[in-house]
């Protein structure tokens, strides 16, 4: 399970918010990658996750992204603990 801290004003960078103009929420990118890349090697998935995290302005560590890539590769569920700050 991964963890990330996101400010309340930037939560739309992680989760889609129809009221927000922000267009690259990470959850959407992750779901699309998980749907299209299941079974592919984690090494192939990692750079795509890094690009999505960078576009969403989220500071996932390499270890976080590797864990996510392995979950996508194997089709395993991935749990992310989110801490929202004021």
Instruction: Give per-residue pLDDT as tens, 72-86.
Output: 999 999 999 999 998
Domain that holds residue 9: 2-85
- Cα(50)–Cα(31) distance, integer angstroms: 14
Closest CA to 81 of 55, 56, 53, 60: 60
The pLDDT assigned to 14 comes to 94
The answer to whether the beta carbons of residues 80 and 71 sit under 8 Å apart is no
Q: What is the total count of domains within the chain? A: 1
The helix, strand and coil proportions of the chain, stated in percent and rounded to the nearest 5, come to: 50, 15, 35
Q: Tell me the pLDDT tens digit for each residue of 50-72.
A: 999 999 999 999 999 999 999 99
Average pLDDT over all residues of the chain: 94
Mean pLDDT of all residues in 15-38: 91
- Cα(44)–Cα(52) distance, integer angstroms: 14
**The pLDDT of residue 23 is above 90:** no
């Amino acid at each position: 399970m991964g963890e990330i801290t996101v400010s309340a004003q930037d939560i739309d960078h992680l989760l889609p918010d129809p009221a927000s103009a922000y267009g690259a929420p990470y959850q959407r990118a992750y779901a699309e990658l998980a749907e299209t890349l299941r079974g592919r090697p984690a090494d192939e998935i990692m750079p795509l996750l890094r690009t999505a995290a960078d576009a969403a302005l989220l500071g996932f560590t390499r270890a976080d992204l590797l864990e996510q890539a392995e979950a996508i590769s194997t089709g395993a569920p991935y749990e992310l603990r989110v801490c929202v700050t004021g």
